[in-house]
C-alpha cells in the first residue's frame, strides 16, 4: 500500500500533465513556488490541507481525487 504522500505525488503529476500544465504554470495559478510543486510530485514535501485544496481547485477536481489511489 502506498503512503498518502506518494498517492498525492502520483495523482498530482498525472492530473497536472493531463491538464497540460507545467509545474511552473500550476505554481503560478495557485500562487506557490515551482519548487514546492516539484517537491509534492517527488513525495518529499509535507503539504498543508490549505495548499491541497488550492491545487485541487486549480485542477478543477475534488480534493479526494488527489488523495485516493486510482484503481488499476
User: Distances from the Cα of 14 to the Cαs of 41, 63, 68, in angstroms?
Assistant: 9, 15, 13
Nearest-angstrom CA–CA distance, 72 and 4: 17
pLDDT higher than threshold 80 for residue 72: no
- The CATH code for residues 4-64 is 1.10.260.40
Residues 9-55 pLDDT 10s? 999 999 999 999 999 999 999 999 999 999 999 999 999 999 999 99
DSSP E strand boundaries for the chain: none
Q: Domain segments of the chain: what residues?
A: 4-64
Nearest-angstrom CA–CA distance, 56 and 19: 12
In the numeric block, which cell numbers belong to residue 63? 480534493
What's the pTM value of the predicted model, to 2 decimals?
Answer: 0.93
In the numeric block, which cell numbers belong to residue 46? 509535507
In the numeric block, which cell numbers belong to residue 2? 502506498
Band (70; pLDDT cuts 50, 70, 90) = confident
Amino acid at each position: 500500500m502506498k503512503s498518502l504522500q506518494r498517492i498525492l505525488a502520483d495523482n498530482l503529476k498525472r492530473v497536472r500533465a493531463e491538464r497540460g500544465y507545467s509545474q511552473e504554470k500550476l505554481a503560478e495559478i495557485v500562487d506557490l513556488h515551482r519548487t514546492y510543486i516539484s517537491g509534492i510530485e517527488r513525495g518529499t514535501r509535507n503539504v498543508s490541507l490549505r495548499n491541497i485544496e488550492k491545487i485541487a481547485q486549480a485542477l478543477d477536481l475534488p480534493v479526494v481525487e488527489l488523495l485516493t489511489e486510482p484503481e488499476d
